[in-house]
A and B are shown apart, each in its own frame.
Chain A
Amino acid sequence: MPRFFIRTFLCALVALTALALQAQQTEVVLSASSSAKLVLGMTPPKASGIEDSLVATEFTAVLKRDLDETGVFAVLQERLPADGAPVKAWKEAGAQWLLNVRLTKGAAGDLQLEASALDTGAEKAVFTKPYKADRMVPLRRMAHALADDLVARLTGERGVASSRVVFVRQTAPGVKELFQIDRDGANLVQLTRHGSLTLSPTVAADGRLAYVTYKGGAPEIWGQRRRDGAHEKLYPATGSGAMVSSPAWSPDGRRLAFVQGDRRGNSDIMVLDLDTGRARRLTDGNGINTEPSWNPNGTQIAFTSDREGGPQVFLMQDDGSNLRRLTGEGLYNASPAWSPNGAMIAYVSRFEGKFDLFIYKLGEGKAYQITTGVSTSESPAWSPDERRLVFTSNRFGSMQIFTTDLSGRQVVRMTELAGCQSPKWTRAR
């Protein structure tokens, strides 16, 4: 009986958020449909044991939005053939694939999703997958899983619909805490309750968090030593009171790059070995060095330094050797983020008092501007599939979280929360 109530309440809740999301989607998706995308037709899902309205808001709408944001699918929206039309009708309407979905809620409260996709040209199945849950999981989670698998079928790499974004948000004046949100803006969860300034989250490949908190007065690095473990102080071991900031997990999750300031005003990149507890200084106490970002195999670190005047992005080996400057143009380039596959580095560049996102393609040795406009765009972080960037922008007033594709044309607002900063995109949470 209470279970029934909880379920009803949850359904109502998710339905409401889904409605809000739909409204938000139509508002900010600036997508231009590209011919390079595969056109997907979707027959209305056949549901048994679940209300149609719930399926429409919690599954169909979520799946359509997920697929639209993959950048590789375009969901057929217009001139849809009638119910029960033959595959040929879908082909004539422009669909290259036709997706059939059947949702069944069993007597024991279990949930089954059978999805199959048909190539309308060859009229043969290109994708078939059954999903089972032994309880009534949120439908939107199943929609995310299906979207990710369809992307995997088409591109060979799973999509990111099931991924999440960890970020910092101000909860009271002088108090900032870590939050987490689903990639589609649903499921806001507060991760820390330090009641103090809590900044600079970094998420390891296995989902462990590290961040800086001022709860003890001076800043300290806190985080998880084990997956799903308690949050504990990682550095400094004994109180030193120095400035520490900007932790970044190495790709193997065993080292933590971070920044430590000295009393002469310099700040240096350090690397903390979690196994031994030893921290090693990589830069040479020459001005400001901050914002370390590892390359995917953990051999190099990109960082911001003002050793040559204004802030610029530099690269070095993970032992501090082979230091070289990356960015050329602009007086203020900062916030480097190495892409998951290692070929690109996203950063921000200051121009006319605001920042824009840029991508430096290491193979070409050239930088490309991603965002434009009068508003500022800051703190880029890569999506796990390297197709999008998450960033903060004040384009709707306060600092909120957005994502953009790499062309900068499809910008989507992720949150409607004021005062967000430092987003990090992860599959592991």
Chain B
Amino acid sequence: MRYGTYLVPAAIVLTLGSLACKPPKTAEEIKAETQAAFNEGYQAFKDGKARDTNPYVNAKDAKENQHKVTGWYEGWDKAKADKDAADKAAAEKAAADEAARKAAAEKAAAEEAARKAAEAEKAAAFQKAAEAALKTIHFDFDKSDIKENDRALLQGIADFMKAYPAAKVEIEGHCDERGTNEYNLALGNRRAAAALAYLKTLGVDEARFTTISYGKEKPLCTEAKEACWSQNRRGEFKLK
């Protein structure tokens, strides 16, 4: 029963198929047919009825377009030669263009690399100069006066700002942990403002600075002693 699923339809297909197909010709039949065709042609030749024209070429073509009869056309040689020449010229031109393009791209890449290198060098120099110049200054307790020692540092910052006219800097004011959070935010603002005012006197445009106060919210050091507090009472300068 299980095989019936496949065998029964297969049997039906084979039976119907064999009925629908003609039986193959035997060798005898093929030989007889071939002989009959030959005889027919031979008889036609003997009767003078054999064809002497190409049934696929009409009379006009036979006269004017000989190549259709002979299977060749002399114009083709020229056309082919022309085409080959054109192809070759085009290929040469393309190769030349490609070479030129490559050369240009290489040149551009080299220029870009050089420019980038120069830029990186310039940026590195800028960073280095910034790092060297933007030193942290310090303040006394509850004071915002610029200390004598820090004047040289601020002069360095002013020189840096003049050497790099595009540089913009944020001045951060910080305080130690003594004092209220809010008062220290105001004090940090005053310290940033004091640094800004001093830089202005050194001839730097104050529009190139922004100020921000962090009060006592971002200490560098968290121990309750003067060595720590004095580090925290500071003005920092950050590139913006």
Name A residues whose Cβ lies closer than 8 Å to a Cβ of B: 174, 176, 197, 199-200, 214, 217-219, 241, 243, 245-246, 259, 261-267, 288-291, 304, 310-311, 332, 334-335, 348, 350, 353, 355, 378-379, 394, 421-422
Contacts and interface: CB of A to CB of B under 8 A. Distances in A.
Interface in B141-192: 142, 144, 178-183, 185-192
Interface of B: 142, 144, 178-183, 185-194, 196-197, 206, 210-215, 217-218, 224
A265 B144 contact: yes
Given A197-B217, A243-B212, A290-B183, 14 more contacts: A200-B181, A217-B212, A243-B188, A245-B185, A261-B185, A261-B190, A263-B211, A266-B190, A290-B186, A291-B180, A291-B182, A311-B183, A332-B179, A335-B182
A265 B193 contact: yes
Nearest to B212: A218
A312 B142 CA distance: 13
Contact of B186 (A217, A261, A335, A350): A261
Which 6 pairs of residues, A with B, have the shortest CB-CB distance?
A265-B193, A265-B190, A261-B189, A267-B186, A288-B186, A243-B189
A288 B180 contact: no
Given A243-B189, A264-B193, A335 B180 contact: yes
The prevalent SS among residues of A at the interface is strand
B189 A267 contact: yes
B183 A378 contact: no
Contacts of B188: 243
Nearest to B210: A241
B218 A174 contact: yes
B218 A197 contact: yes
A189 B188 CA distance: 31
Nearest to A245: B185
Most buried by B among A288, A289, A304: A288
Given A174-B218, A199-B217, A264 B197 contact: yes
A288 B190 contact: yes
Nearest to A354: B178
B142 A310 contact: yes
12 contacts: A199-B217, A219-B212, A219-B213, A259-B185, A261-B189, A265-B191, A265-B194, A266-B190, A290-B186, A332-B142, A353-B178, A379-B180
